[in-house]
């Protein structure tokens, strides 16, 4: 059997080489299907990989409490001053929900002035608590972070953020929107740890320098504004000295911990808001777990649509191989008759054409896998799209699918060839 396979492979390879143009046209669609399949496989793998990284880095059982501006401005006669969700309310929520992994209060300002050694630059301040670093902390910290003592005593201490090199993309767009470029330059060229700086003319001591992870290791977080945050201060200090807007109003990011208990945690937070602030709908709770699920479902849907396109390309390639094999059978009718006359069985004839078709599929699969890797790694990196996470099993699976497709579509032509009678085949010319 092995010898018969080897002989069939040799004759099939010789036939493919003798009709190179026809063979290239035959496996071209198979190659396209392999490229699409590898890209779709890597997209699905990347989605699940990203989900696991999101679970480790940011958690999935997330919610976000924010002020409902619509409730304050909805009256036609007067503006309704919203209640303040401040530090005291944050502590009460922490006391009532000690099982939550994180309750991080945040207040922010888009524009502040930092001064160091006579140089004044535009920065942005974020008032936070020590729990800020429990999730989404994509930084390498030098020095120390805030303690609850810093928060309770409203100390004038700060942590500066040093930006990592920007990701690939439009330099013009980055230049247009990065209004803190002077700050980035100041922080990157000076060792500020332990030094004093002025923020809006108030003296602060730099207790820590948080350097962003490189772009390749950075995980996208829920709070997009963190890309522009440059200075961290205790949230009570920010409110006490008027460094942020809102007069002590804060937004709260919550990680409820295990995903299984998220719905109960969400009800607990809504009950807390209702009891604390009455029936007025002045605060909204954003269900970030649901948003994550929607995003993941959308990515997977796109990947499966791509796989469907790849399957269509494989089917088109299989049909092409079937047509070419049928044409080959009729062109080699006399050869088939001679082989049958000298003792070749029907299974020998079928094997010959099946192996030739599978070789076409394998060549198309290998070529498509090479092109898929070329597109997914070097070309995407050159274009600034980020390399696809192609694993070794992806090209192998693609080649296997190509071979199986060719095998399936070659059954009928091979059966036609094997069904030719020796006498009829020898008379054909």
Question: What pLDDT does 284 receive?
Answer: 86
Give dist(CA 3, CA 205) in Å, integer: 81
Q: What are phi and psi of 119, to 5 degrees?
A: -95, 125
Say what the pTM is: 0.65
Regions of the chain with pLDDT less than 50: 170, 173, 221-226
- Confirm if 19 and 325 have CB atoms less than 8 A apart: no
Element holding 70 (H helix, E strand):
helix 69-73
Mention every residue, 6+ apart, whose C-beta is less than 8 A from residue 265.
Answer: 61, 63, 97, 100, 254, 256, 257
Element holding 143 (H helix, E strand):
strand 139-143
Question: What pLDDT does 171 receive?
Answer: 53
The CA–CA distances, whole Å, from 233 to 90, 106, 212, 254 equal: 17, 10, 17, 19
Mention every residue, 6+ apart, whose C-beta is less than 8 A from residue 79.
Answer: 72, 73
- Confirm if 365 and 30 have CB atoms less than 8 A apart: yes
Question: What pLDDT does 226 receive?
Answer: 47
Q: Which of 2, 11, 4 is nearest to 328 (CA)?
A: 11
Question: What pLDDT does 58 receive?
Answer: 67
Question: What pLDDT does 223 receive?
Answer: 40
Question: What pLDDT does 22 receive?
Answer: 67
How far apart, in Å, do the first and last CA atoms of the chain sit?
Answer: 31
Q: pLDDT tens digits for 268-319?
A: 999 999 999 886 678 888 887 787 778 778 877 877 777 787 788 788 888 8
- Longest Cα–Cα distance in the chain: 104
Cβ-based neighbour number of residue 426 at 10 Å: 16
Q: Could you please report the per-residue DSSP string of 3-63? A: HHHHHHHHHHHHHHHHTHHHHHHHHHHHHHHHHHHHHHHHHHHHHHHHHHHHHHHT-SSEE
């Amino acid at each position: 059997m092995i010898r018969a396979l080897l002989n069939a492979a040799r004759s099939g390879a010789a036939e493919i080489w003798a009709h190179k143009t026809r063979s290239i046209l035959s496996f071209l669609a198979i190659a396209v299907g392999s490229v699409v399949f590898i890209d779709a496989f890597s997209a699905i793998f990347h989605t699940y990989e990203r989900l696991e990284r999101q679970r480790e880095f940011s958690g999935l059982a997330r919610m976000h409490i924010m002020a409902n501006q619509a409730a304050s401005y909805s009256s036609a006669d007067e503006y309704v001053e919203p209640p303040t969700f401040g530090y005291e309310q944050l502590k009460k929520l922490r006391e009532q929900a000690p099982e939550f992994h994180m309750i991080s209060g945040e207040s922010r300002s888009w524009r502040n002035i930092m001064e160091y050694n006579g140089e004044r630059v535009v920065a942005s301040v974020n008032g936070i608590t020590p729990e800020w670093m429990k999730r989404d902390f994509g930084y390498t910290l030098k020095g120390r972070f805030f303690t609850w003592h810093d928060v309770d005593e409203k100390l004038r201490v700060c942590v500066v953020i040093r930006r990592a090199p920007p990701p690939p993309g439009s330099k013009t767009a980055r230049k247009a929107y990065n209004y803190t470029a002077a700050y980035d330059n100041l922080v990157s060229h000076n060792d500020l740890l332990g030094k004093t700086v002025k923020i809006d003319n108030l003296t602060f001591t730099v207790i820590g320098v948080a350097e962003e992870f490189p772009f390749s290791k950075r995980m996208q977080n829920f709070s997009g504004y963190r890309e522009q945050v440059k200075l961290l201060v205790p949230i009570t200090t920010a409110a006490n000295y008027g460094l942020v807007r809102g007069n002590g109003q804060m937004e709260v990011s919550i990680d409820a911990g295990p995903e299984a208990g998220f719905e109960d945690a969400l009800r607990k937070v809504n009950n807390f808001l209702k009891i604390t602030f009455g029936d007025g709908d002045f605060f909204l709770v954003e269900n970030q777990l649901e948003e994550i699920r929607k995003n993941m479902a959308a990515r997977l849907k796109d990947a499966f649509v791509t796989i469907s396109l790849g399957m269509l390309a494989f089917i088109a390639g299989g049909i092409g191989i079937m047509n070419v094999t049928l044409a080959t059978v009729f062109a080699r009718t006399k050869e088939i008759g001679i082989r049958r006359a000298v003792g070749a069985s029907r299974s020998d004839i079928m094997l010959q054409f099946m192996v030739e078709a599978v070789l076409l599929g394998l060549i198309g699969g290998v070529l498509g896998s090479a092109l898929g890797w070329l597109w997914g790694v070097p070309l995407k990196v050159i274009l600034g799209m980020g390399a696809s996470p192609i694993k070794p099993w992806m090209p192998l699976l693609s080649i296997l699918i190509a071979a199986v497709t060719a095998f399936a579509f070659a059954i009928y032509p091979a059966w036609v060839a094997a069904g030719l009678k020796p006498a009829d085949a020898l008379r054909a010319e």
